[in-house]
A and B are shown apart, each in its own frame.
Chain A
Amino acid sequence: MTVADLGILRDVAIVDGVAVAKVTPTYSGCPATLAIELAIETALVEAGFEARIERVLSPAWTTDWISAEGREKLRAYGIAPPEEASGSKLALFGEVTVHCPRCNSTATEKISEFGSTACKAQYRCTACREPFDYFKCI
């Protein structure tokens, strides 16, 4: 899984001899943003570039930017990739069909709207009994 797969790395270009990487955070308060930026800068420096990171807020990151390959890698790791929301994101008790990353069953239920990180919710599969993280659709 790379930061490009996740759609966080928006662009890298050489500007006046400096490698400029544009990064868009997932959530406003994502604590990993700084670590990701440092890792990108380190990788560029180790590859022999003079590097600079630019944080780009607009347009806002969306789960639509996760690549098809990225979605597969999430699933293989045991995290259900974001599904297309069926109705309004404001719908109370809104139902989204989430596929179990282990057995692909749709017999899944939400345990918690919020998970171990801001970008994930907690679900469980009632077919194979596996609890899993779901990458929320935003």
Chain B
Amino acid sequence: MALFDAVLELADDHLVLGHRLSEWCGHAPMLEEDLAMPNMALDLIGTARTLYDYAATLEGQGRTEDDMAYLRGEREYRNLLLCERPNEDFAQTMLRQLYFAAFMHPYWQAAAGGGDEVIRGVAGKAVKEMAYHIRHAGEWVIRLGDGTEESARRMKDAVEALHLYTGELFEEGAAEGVDALPSRAAIKPAWEATIDHIFGQALLSRPVVQYPQTGGRRGLHGESLGHLLAEMQSVYRAHPGATW
């Protein structure tokens, strides 16, 4: 069931980050971003749906994608801590998106040549979407980092707040030894190259992390994931089996 667990981990990353982005809908600093963030959320949630559906098929216990998303508690969620970090300000949201997309783009590129047909299909689509997310988030990181005194301060604060969660991106998790999926550790040089390229223009630098935070893959989450799930799952749990 290593493939099942690994697919579930990926699906959880995408759903949780997609839900976080969707929280901006109606609250973005400008109309264009009010369109951009829900659009990026749709990409992530669409990918999550296909992955949950595949995980349910692999499991063969009759669970559906909705059961996977709405009927698991926070200790059962396997998402990266980075993905669940609260939106805070726009700078943090854009940096979180850049960190994630800069990993997923080369990851899906590697997965697109793998031996599993469903994963290849997901990867072929997602790699194009992640290229857009890197561009969009990367351009904002540069604008803000090399912007006003205020925006530069906020961008530096964002790096301070989020960089300690990036090490978890490269932990193999359940995918260890699964042929259908690429090695996560092997993605690190590509990720660092993208981040350095953007940070160079944003007048930012990658900090040395003293106390890296991990645990998401083992179901050990921050307080905020529980709040996210409570909101996301409340309708489905109040009306079990409802369809829409």
Contact = CB atoms under 8 A, between A and B. Distances in A.
Given A92-B198, A92-B201, A113-B132, A60 B46 contact: no
20 contacts: A27-B42, A27-B43, A28-B44, A28-B47, A28-B50, A28-B126, A29-B41, A29-B46, A31-B42, A57-B50, A57-B124, A92-B138, A92-B139, A92-B142, A93-B139, A113-B135, A114-B39, A114-B40, A118-B39, A136-B132
B42 A29 contact: yes
Given A57-B124, A89-B131, A113 B136 contact: yes
Contacts of A114: 32, 35-36, 39-40, 136
Contact of B36 (A58, A59, A93, A112): A112
Interface residues of A, number: 28
Dominant SS among interface residues on chain A: loop
Nearest to A60: B124
B47 A29 contact: yes
Interface of B: 32, 35-36, 39-47, 49-50, 105, 117-118, 120-122, 124-126, 128-129, 131-132, 134-136, 138-139, 142, 198, 201
Dominant SS among interface residues on chain B: helix
Contacts of B135: 89-92, 94, 113
A27 B125 contact: yes
A25 to B, nearest CB: 8
Given A57-B121, A89-B131, A138-B128, A29 B44 contact: yes
A86 interface: no
A25 B42 CA distance: 13
Interface in A112-138: 112-116, 118, 122, 136, 138
B46 A28 contact: yes
B194 to A, nearest CB: 8
Contacts of B32: 111-114, 122
Task: Name the residue among B35, B44, B136 with the largest chain A CB count within 10 angstroms.
Answer: B35
Contacts of B198: 92
B39 A60 contact: no
A74 to B, nearest CB: 19
B66 to A, nearest CB: 14
B137 to A, nearest CB: 10
A28 B125 contact: yes
Contacts of A115: 35
